[in-house]
Amino acid sequence: MHKKQIFGIYILFNWYFLESDQSSINESPFEDFNDDTTYDPTSDLDLISDTKCSTNSNATVIIPLQNCLTYDQNDSVFDFDSSESPEIVGLKPNNNIIPRKSKVHEIQTQNVAQKCNNKWKKKRTKCKFCSLEVTNFKRHLERNHTDVKEVIELLTYPKKSKERKQIITLIRNSGNFDEFLRGTLRPIYTTKDKSSTSYYPCANCKGLYSKKFLSRHRKKCMAVNVNENLDKNRHQSASQTLIACAIEGNNTLHKLRVRKEVFDIMKADDISLVAKTDPLICQFGEQYLKKHRRKQMAVVCSNKMRQLARLLIELRRIKNDDKYTLCDAINAVMFDTVIECVKNIGGYDPNTKSYRAPSLSAHIGTSLKQVSNLLMLLLIKKDPIFKFVEDIEIKIQEIKRFNELIVSQWTTEISSLAFKGLNERNWDKPTVLPLTKDIIKFKTYVTEIANIALTTLKDNPNNIKQFKNLVDATLVLTILYNRKRIGDVHYTLLKTYLSNFSTINQDECLNSLSPSEILLTRHYKRVVTGGKGSKPIVILFPPNIQE
């Protein structure tokens, strides 16, 4: 039976009892307490508890109906359950007792009270010009900053125009981005994860968005370049580059090749963010690019920078300092800590004395030598990015000692066991050579794919899938014919292929060819391209591949 029905029956019972016996009302159990001038309110609770806790008593305390009609906000309530007798569960001294409403009504009341307590507050905006928290940002700019360049441009447009709203949004986002660099998070849309690492600024409008929503925002961003290809852009990587350039402050990073050629191809994660924000790692990447002119070396530069960034992350974990830099680690005192970090990165197992990634641990030693020499050069030149170094001469001596330890002890500590483990892994791997019939079968299969793609493209030149198949098949057949490294053929330029080498006039190239290949050059197209170490590489193209 529902609680409301039980309570209704109980009220009717009280009313019937009052009508049938008026004398009993005058002699109600509460009459003495109402007339007594020395009445103690706490005695009611003792009376009720004694009545309810008695084991052999079935007596029920009846509450007059009129005592249930008046109550205030602090009145206590009691609940009737179908499994319990309608006995008094609690009583306040003022005898103002009300029945509890239904659970649905109670939940609704609680929600209304919660909404009243949590009143909506208008979001404040921090002005980037005067650092004041304001609610009406538009009015604040028009009244207080009419001499600022951005506000002057803002006032040239009519009120409520689209251009005016866009300029106000850009100024607001710029201020929020400055606060983001200081550690205060003010995103455009908030999510459950409110950590600063889950939000990235847009590289165009500087608005803070979650990582998942950033790519969607870039498609409709008001500040995006019209000629920009949004499909091929790495949005999070561009956002990290914006953060790195803003933290650096003196515009040195904007002038480096590493920002244009390497930063955009980096995968956007914590490692790449550390690599972009550490000045010494950025200078190391810039120095590496100076020694190379081929575009594919940007990938190698990215890998080396990420290796040093992983080392720096491990150093920060051990030192428990998020502001620790690689420049601080170039010190003879830190040599043992660096060795420990390199072993952790390479997955060193002290029981088996082996590395999970032996090549990584060995290559970091070479990078540290180059970083030490580079840091010494920058300090001697008094580069402005290292102006925080107080005593340059003392720091140079520390770098020299650290470099000497790398040269003398790195082989003993890291490289020896790393390369031994790498060689021992090759013992269990048998050398697998392709059979002649397998090569013929593979060549036949690739040729069929190329012919099908060529036939399809003649009928439908816009077929992207078949064009991709034709390009891949041509690359594979060229590698099979020439037996060259993939990179030598893959990075051959179109203008190099179109060059006509009809005569054999290069002795150095002829020495690299076998007698049969020299005869084939009379019928095949011969192309000379640059290989590893800028060495000349001869590539032959048969007539069917030329077609």
The DSSP annotation for 8-52 comes to HHHHHHHHHHHHH-HHHHHT-TTHHHHH-TT--TTHHHHHHHHHH
Q: What is the pLDDT along the chain (547 residues), one digit of tens a residue?
A: 555 566 566 666 555 555 555 444 444 444 444 444 444 444 444 433 444 444 444 444 444 444 444 444 444 444 444 444 444 444 444 444 444 445 445 555 555 555 555 545 667 888 989 988 888 999 999 899 989 998 999 899 998 899 999 999 999 999 999 999 888 888 888 777 666 678 889 988 999 998 888 888 888 888 876 556 555 567 888 889 899 988 876 678 888 889 989 998 898 889 999 999 999 999 999 999 998 888 888 999 999 999 999 999 999 999 998 889 999 999 999 999 999 999 999 999 999 888 999 999 989 999 999 999 999 999 998 888 887 788 889 999 999 999 999 999 999 999 999 888 888 887 777 777 777 888 888 888 988 998 898 889 888 888 889 889 888 888 888 888 877 777 778 777 777 777 765 455 556 566 666 777 677 666 777 777 777 777 777 777 777 777 7
Long-range contacts of 44-50 (CB under 8 A, 24+ apart): 44/91, 44/93, 44/95, 45/90, 45/91, 48/88, 48/90, 48/91
Burial of 149-162, coded b for 16+ CB within 10 Å and e otherwise, reads: eebeebeeeeeeee
Residue 375 CA to residue 363 CA, distance in Å, equals 19
Q: Where are the domains of the chain?
A: 3-117, 292-431, 436-546
> What is the pTM for the complete model shown?
0.68
DSSP 412: I
